[in-house]
Amino acid sequence: MIENYKEAFEKTRSAGVIAAGALDEVFKIAKPGIRTDQIDNLCYEYLNDHGAYSAPLFYRGFPKSCCTSANHVVCHGIPSDKILKDGDIINVDVTALKDGWHGDTSRTFEIGEVSIKGKKLVQTTYEAMMKGIKIIKEDIFLGDIGATIQSHVEAEGFSVVQDFCGHGIGKQFHKEPNVLHYGKKGTGEKIKAGMIFTIEPMINLGKYETKTLNDGWTAVTKDKSLSAQFEHTIGVTKDGYEIFTLSKN
């Protein structure tokens, strides 16, 4: 597919490290009493200070620089004057656009002291993403990734959101292939060295169904149960993978 992917990897890595750095800063202020638009401001400033743009800002009309998705919000939550309180969980999703290339990553933060169930959900979601990443190498199938994530999540009694998926990324924010977080081993496209895509499972405490609110963006669980998400941007190599959105420290 892509013979010489050195430049793509280097540029995605540069963007990815900046996005990860923004989340490191968000972690420091993610405390009870903070507003989600303060998180948004921090992301806007951090990206600009590091020579990048926020890819979400004005993307298909999205009004803010990051997504902030708390509690039963699955994804695409819009930063606002909402105040975070003790026991909330919140996913912050940052995409940096640097030198024409994208790096996309998200983490779910615990605000103050979170319930045992909430903590279990957050931990299982992180583990599921990492298990999906760790099997990556040339010639596995996309379905192998989905199956690995789904089996870990369902073994814990949680459910995998089906309405949103990971995606190819590069000069374009969202491109082929769709990376489903559920599925069957040996199905779907074979992955090839040089491919760059995200893995970003959204996992619900209750049922998997979602609905989108009237703002046209905010996706929530239909049953109002908690939802968590983590996301990395990765590149496929001959014998493995590289995660582009790791923190530098």
Regarding 76 and contact with ligand MF3 (CB under 6 A), the answer is yes
Gyration radius of the chain's alpha carbons: 17
Whichever of 136 and 193 has its CB closer to ligand MF3, that residue is 136
List, in order, residues 6 or more apart from 7 with CB less than 8 Å away.
Answer: none
Query: What mask, x for binding ligand MF3 by CB under 6 A, covers residues 77 to 96?
Result: ----------------x-x-
List, in order, residues 6 or more apart from 109 with CB less than 8 Å away.
Answer: 26, 27, 30, 89, 90, 91, 92
Kindly tell me which residue out of 14, 91, 198, 225 binds Co ion, with binding defined by CB under 5 A.
198
Residue 164: how many CB atoms within 10 A of its CB? 18
Q: Smallest distance, Å, CB 213 to Co ion? A: 19
Regarding 62 and contact with ligand MF3 (CB under 6 A), the answer is yes
Whichever of 6 and 60 has its CB closer to ligand MF3, that residue is 60
State the Cα torsion 246-247-248-249 to the nearest 10°.
-140
C-beta separation of 91 from 106 below 8 A = yes
Which 3 state secondary structure label does DSSP give 128?
helix
Whichever of 110 and 231 has its CB closer to ligand MF3, that residue is 231
Query: What mask, x for binding ligand MF3 by CB under 6 A, covers residues 207 to 226?
Result: ----------x---------
Regarding 104 and contact with ligand MF3 (CB under 6 A), the answer is yes
Query: What mask, x for binding ligand MF3 by CB under 6 A, covers residues 173 to 212?
Result: ---------------------------x------------
C-alpha distances (whole Å) from 120 to each of 31, 67, 97, 242 are 19, 22, 33, 27
Which 3 state secondary structure label does DSSP give 82?
coil
Kindly tell me which residue out of 26, 74, 91, 93 binds Co ion, with binding defined by CB under 5 A.
93
Whichever of 71 and 106 has its CB closer to Co ion, that residue is 106
Query: Would you give the end-to-end CA distance of the chain in angstroms?
Result: 33
C-alpha distances (whole Å) from 74 to each of 14, 63, 154, 231, 236 are 28, 18, 17, 13, 27
Regarding 110 and contact with Co ion (CB under 5 A), the answer is no
Q: Smallest distance, Å, CB 40 to ligand MF3? A: 11
Q: Indicate the angle between helix axes 116-134 and 142-155, nearest 10 degrees.
A: 160
Taking CB under 6 A as the binding criterion, the range among 56-64, 114-122, 129-137, 181-189 that sits at the site for ligand MF3 is 56-64
Whichever of 11 and 76 has its CB closer to ligand MF3, that residue is 76
Instruction: By CB under 5 A, name the binding residues for Co ion.
Output: 93, 104, 106, 198, 231
Instruction: By CB under 6 A, name the binding residues for ligand MF3.
Output: 56, 59-60, 62, 67, 76, 93, 95, 104, 200, 217, 231
